[in-house]
Amino acid sequence: MPDAELTAQGFYPEIIEAGLVAVEGEKIVHTFSSYVVPTAFPKLTKRCKRFLKISQKQVDEGLPFAELIRLLAELNGMGEHTVVTWGNMDMKVLKRNCKEANLLFPLKGHFIDLSMEYKKFFGDRNQTGLWKAVQEYGKEGTGRHHRALDDALTTYNIYNLVEKDKTYMKKSKPPTIGDRVDFSKLLNRMA
């Protein structure tokens, strides 16, 4: 029998864990991880607890959603940023949760769905899961799958790998005659 929350009218997913990695240049300058207390559907389903390997107590002791939004706004308040996620669900859920809580969406900047970048870059027909993508690079994910901070760190690692591969794939400018001929040697011979 399905959990009551999954069949309830008006159900929408709520953020129950948040993790982020703030980067300047190529250096991680801040990490954040916390459970988040759900408000519309405070009782976790058995399936959710089993799938994520978390307890109701952990979530109940988490950060209130409004506090998470305040922290995100504070981190994002220093100007426009690039926000990288694996898939678009995180941003959809965050936007919906903000709307339901009558809070302003806290993030501004350029948004990158790295799973779509990965799909396009490698010519895949379907989107690849985060941890499968990191394994395709011959690496391992950071920590545990489906833990917010671990997934954020793994996404950051894949972002770096994809960006590095993109630089290899860029077409270089064709060489000029000056690149092909060392005129200083030619002039020395003529002198």
Within a domain: residue 127?
yes
Predicted local confidence at residue 80, as pLDDT: 74
- The domain of 112 spans 4-150
Within a domain: residue 19?
yes
State the CATH number of the domain containing residue 45.
3.30.420.10
pTM of the model: 0.80
Strand partners, 24: 27
pLDDT tens digit at each of 191 positions of the chain: 344 444 567 889 999 999 999 999 889 999 999 999 999 999 999 999 999 999 999 999 999 999 999 999 998 876 778 999 999 999 999 999 999 999 999 999 999 999 999 998 888 888 889 989 988 888 888 888 889 999 999 999 999 998 888 887 666 677 676 666 676 776 677 76
Predicted local confidence at residue 6, as pLDDT: 47
Within a domain: residue 180?
no
Within a domain: residue 163?
no
Who contacts 32 (Cβ-Cβ below 8 Å, separation ≥6)? 18, 19, 20, 22, 71, 75, 149
What is the number of domains present in the chain? 1
Rg (CA), the chain: 23
As given in the structure block, the two tokens for residue 98 are 């903000």
Give the end-to-end CA distance of the chain in Å, rounded to a whole number.
93
Closest among 178, 150, 180 to 53, alpha carbons compared? 150
